[in-house]
């Protein structure tokens, strides 16, 4: 596989998003690889816990690939959003517990992928944000729904409407992550948790996870469909093109409301 490295050790499978030259930004090929890997893991009796992380220490995942999104039509954007939601839902629905080891930037789609995991451990240099409004769009991989479920409406609105970045310590204080560790230690801390979980009864862990997820899932499906519609509507605007073009050109966007 080109973008996802798979390592198995002591009934723990670690998935590393391996696109460091682009700060592990998510593109369609990465989503396709991830879906295939998750389908395999879901039926693997030798995997009791899954860890997801990013290659290098700069980024967990620094969002979705702007170059790929920039030219999308509203119809293409809707399909892109729905597919990203579909794959991240598979991550949430894995029978095994999933731990995100967050090293560096977890922005946009990276933050959304972390939210789809069961447990989140952040390195001290981790940075979280849903910055999509600065690009003329909104979160499209479940961020509007999962962030609201996790933090409540008021705090989700603050983070999504302002697009501001928060540190690992701020994320911990909000309940966005479960633990903060020293720089470079997120993956080893996640592995320690994973080994402890792997020694517990796997069927009981699966049942507990499904029971906890049950109530949240009742409203999530409808919310994700609405999110994809609102996300794709942004791709009919000049502001979406301006936001993404300015990002790639490293200049400040000038939004006109059109």
From the list 9, 132, 192, 221, the catalytic residue is 132
Backbone angles phi, psi at 189, to 5 degrees: -65, -40
Q: Which of 21, 112, 192, 245 is catalytic?
A: 112
- The pLDDT tens digits for 87-136 are 999 999 999 999 999 999 999 999 999 999 999 999 999 999 999 999 99
Asked if pLDDT for residue 216 goes beyond 80, the answer is no
Query: Measured between alpha carbons, how far is residue 161 from residues 78, 126, 146 in Å?
Result: 21, 21, 15
Average of pLDDT values for 206-233? 88
Q: What is the pTM (predicted TM-score) of this model?
A: 0.94
**Are 143 and 130 spatial neighbours (Cβ–Cβ below 8 Å)?**
yes
Give helix 143-151 / helix 202-233 axis angle, nearest 10°: 130
Residue 194 pLDDT exceeds 90: yes
Fold of 4-184: 2-enoyl-CoA Hydratase; Chain A, domain 1 (3.90.226)
Q: What is the pLDDT of residues 55-76, one digit of tens each?
A: 988 999 999 999 999 999 999 9
How is residue 10 written in tokens?
A: 């002591």
**What average pLDDT does the chain have?**
95
10 is catalytic: no
Which two three-digit tokens encode residue 122?
Answer: 């952040």
Here the tokens at position 23 are 């700060």
Size (the chain), residues: 258
Contacts of residue 31, defined as CB under 8 A and 6 or more positions apart, other chains included, come to 83, 84, 87
Q: Residue 112 has which token pair?
A: 């959304």
Calpha distance 60→110 (Å, rounded): 7
* Residue 132 is a catalytic residue: yes
Rg (CA), the chain: 17
Domain positions in the chain are 4-184
**Strand, helix or coil for residue 49:** strand
- Predicted pLDDT of residue 2: 87
Per-residue pLDDT tens over the stretch 9-49: 989 999 999 999 999 999 999 999 999 999 999 999 999 99
């Amino acid at each position: 596989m080109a973008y996802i490295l798979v390592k198995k050790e002591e009934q723990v499978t670690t998935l590393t998003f391996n696109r460091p030259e682009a700060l592990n930004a998510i593109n369609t090929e990465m989503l396709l690889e991830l879906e295939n890997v998750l389908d395999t893991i879901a039926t693997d009796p030798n995997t009791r816990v899954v860890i997801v992380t990013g290659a290098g220490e700069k980024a967990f995942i620094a969002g979705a690939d702007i170059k790929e999104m920039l030219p999308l039509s509203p119809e293409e954007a809707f399909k892109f959003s729905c597919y990203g939601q579909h794959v991240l839902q598979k991550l949430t629905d894995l029978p095994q517990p999933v731990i995100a080891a967050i090293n560096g930037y977890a922005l946009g789609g990276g933050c959304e992928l972390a939210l789809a995991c069961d447990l989140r451990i952040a390195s001290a240099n981790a940075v979280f944000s849903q910055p999509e409004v600065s690009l003329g769009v909104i979160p499209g991989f479940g961020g509007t729904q999962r962030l609201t479920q996790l933090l409540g409406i008021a705090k989700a609105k603050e983070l999504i409407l302002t697009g501001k970045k928060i540190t690992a310590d701020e994320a911990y204080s909000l309940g966005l992550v479960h633990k903060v560790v020293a720089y470079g230690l997120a993956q080893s801390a996640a592995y320690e948790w994973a080994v402890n979980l792997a020694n517990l009864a796997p069927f009981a862990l699966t049942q507990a996870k499904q029971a906890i997820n049950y109530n949240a899932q009742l409203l999530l499906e409808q919310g994700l469909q609405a999110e994809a519609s609102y996300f794709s509507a942004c791709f009919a605007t000049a502001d979406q093109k301006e936001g993404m073009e300015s990002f790639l050109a490293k200049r400040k966007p000038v939004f006109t409301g059109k």
